[in-house]
Amino acid sequence: MTRVRAIELRLVGLPLVRPFRTSFGEQTRKVCVLVRVETDGAEGWGECVADIDPGFSEEFNEGAWLVIRTFLAPALFAVGDVEPRDLDGVFAGVRGNPMAKAALVNAFLDAWLRERDRSLAGFLGADKERVACGVSVGIAPTTEELLDHVRGYLEEGYRRIKLKIEPGTDVERVAAVRAAHPDILLSVDANAAYTLNDLHVFRALDRFSLLMVEQPLGHEDLVEHAKLQQEIRTDVCLDESIRSAALAASALEIGACRIVNVKQGRVGGLLEAKRVHDVARAQGAPVWCGGMLETGLGRAVNLALAALPGFTLPGDTSSSARYFTEDITEPHVMAPDGTMPVPGGPGIGVVPKADRLAECTLRSEALAP
Ligand code: NPG
């Protein structure tokens, strides 16, 4: 059993090496909430994947901070000694808010595992020591720049290119990348920018042998996704729509997708992410590990998750250098063969570098029982 004695919240900001544009907005900085929990025998870190604004989901940094401070942390303090399996119950009084919950669940798990000298990858049931890496390529100002970015990433060794798309330039950009690289694993991510009225776009994209089309329609459109999947050959993958293992099971059952992007932060943390993996695996659907431009802390968690047996496609688990000039942990580095090692030390296997963390901290607050 483990008891949480203190919690610290920290808002950190790091510039991105290049602006990241999606169909829902552009980011030039990564700003997120970090959670540090102290137990009797260890400390653990969790990174909240919410953003500055509620553009990707309803959650955002200031809201997550408030939810953790007002509801989740007090619930964890009040319960006293707990095991990981108890956490769902501890947080059951708070509906939704999976990103805020994930930060605290993951920080608790990190400390709990360190107390037991166990690695996260081992705890989750990982069967790989290295994972295959893909990269997500933001919408570029021009097709030429996009081709440059893609060429650079392929030279570094990335094994799958995912293009962010938006209405207007979609088919032309995909056609250009496919013509330049006929044999690569190529996928597209629409971030919910389309409706069923755009069926002609997805029919046109069917020509490019894409690995998948990710989250083409709205984040609540399961039935519409099932209709789209019936009309196109390319596999539909869902991201924003999958906020729990139960939703993953429903989506797969009705044929709304054939592939699932697992983002632990979007589904409430590592324990629920493992359940999404299990549900998909039971139905024979491949999963892969998504990314939310996490710092080295969140990325360590993603690498452990991506090492589970059902993760059979390269994930958005890119090198620290793809995001930041200097990460807040020692950098995660992809080898030229396009694979990255899964951290093997106790807990999540990494800790923040004190100097870099101090430099990036915008605000912090200590919480106690
Ligand atoms: O490599 O971490 C990464 C970025 C992968 O494209 C990526 N993430 O829609 O999946 C997404 C997108 C995203 C990033 C969404 C940040 C929300 C915030």
| Separation of CA 137 and ligand 1 centre (Å) | 9
Ligand 1 pocket check: which of 136, 264, 317 to mutate, most ligand atoms within 8 Å of Cβ?
136
CA of 162 to the centre of ligand 1 (A): 10
Instruction: Please tell me which residue in 101, 162, 263, 274 is annotated as part of the active site.
Output: 263
Q: What is the pLDDT of residue 203?
A: 98
Question: What kind and span of H or E run contains 114?
Answer: helix 98-115
Q: What class, spelled out in words, does domain 4-117+353-367 have in CATH?
A: alpha beta
Question: From CA 104, how far away is CA 18, in angstroms rounded?
Answer: 29
Mutation pick for ligand 1 pocket among 219, 293, 297 (CB with most ligand atoms within 8 Å)? 293
Residues of the chain with confidence (pLDDT) below 50:
none
pTM more than 0.85: yes
* Mutation pick for ligand 1 pocket among 316, 317, 320 (CB with most ligand atoms within 8 Å): 316
Q: Which residues contact 59 (CB under 8 A, 6 or more apart)?
A: 50, 97, 98, 99, 100
What is the pLDDT at residue 361? Answer: 98
Q: Give me ligand 1 centre to Cα 293, in Å.
A: 6
User: Whose C-alpha lies nearest to ligand 1, atom 8?
Assistant: 292
CATH class of 122-341: alpha beta
Looking at residue 262, what is its pLDDT?
98
The per-residue b/e assignment along 228-240, b for 16 or more CB within 10 angstroms, e otherwise, is bbeebebbbbbbb
Residue whose CA is closest, atom 15 of ligand 1? 292
128 is catalytic: no
101 in catalytic set? no
Length of the chain (residues):
369
Half-sphere exposure of 98 (CA within 13 A, CB side): 20
Give the integer Cα–Cα distance in Å for 290 and 339: 15
In sequence order, what are the residues at sequence separation of 6 or more whose Cβ sits closer than 8 angstroms to the Cβ of residue 311? 131, 262, 277, 286, 287, 288, 289, 305
CA atoms within 13 A on the CB side of 289: 32
Q: Which residue in 343, 369, 327 sits closest to 32, CA to CA?
A: 327
User: Which pLDDT score, from 0 to 100, does residue 56 have?
Assistant: 93
Ligand 1-lining residues (CB < 6 angstroms): 22, 51, 56, 136, 189, 191, 239, 290-293, 316, 318
> Any idea where the domains of the chain sit in the sequence?
4-117+353-367, 122-341
Going by alpha carbons, the residue nearest to atom 5 of ligand 1 is: 291
Q: Which of 30, 101, 164, 274 is catalytic?
A: 164
**How high is the pLDDT of residue 70?**
98
The whole-number pLDDT of residue 303 equals 98
Strand 339-341 and strand 130-132: the pairing is antiparallel
Ligand 1 atom closest to 189 (CA): 9
Quote the ligand 1 centre to 47 CA distance (angstroms). 15
Q: Whose CA is nearest to atom 16 of ligand 1?
A: 292
- Give residue 91's pLDDT: 97
- For 130, phi then psi, to 5°, come to -135, 150
Q: The dihedral of CA 289, 302, 346, 367: what is its sign? A: negative
Let me know how many helices (H) and strands (E) the chain has, helices first.
13, 13
**Do 293 and 30 contact (CB within 8 A), yes or no?**
yes
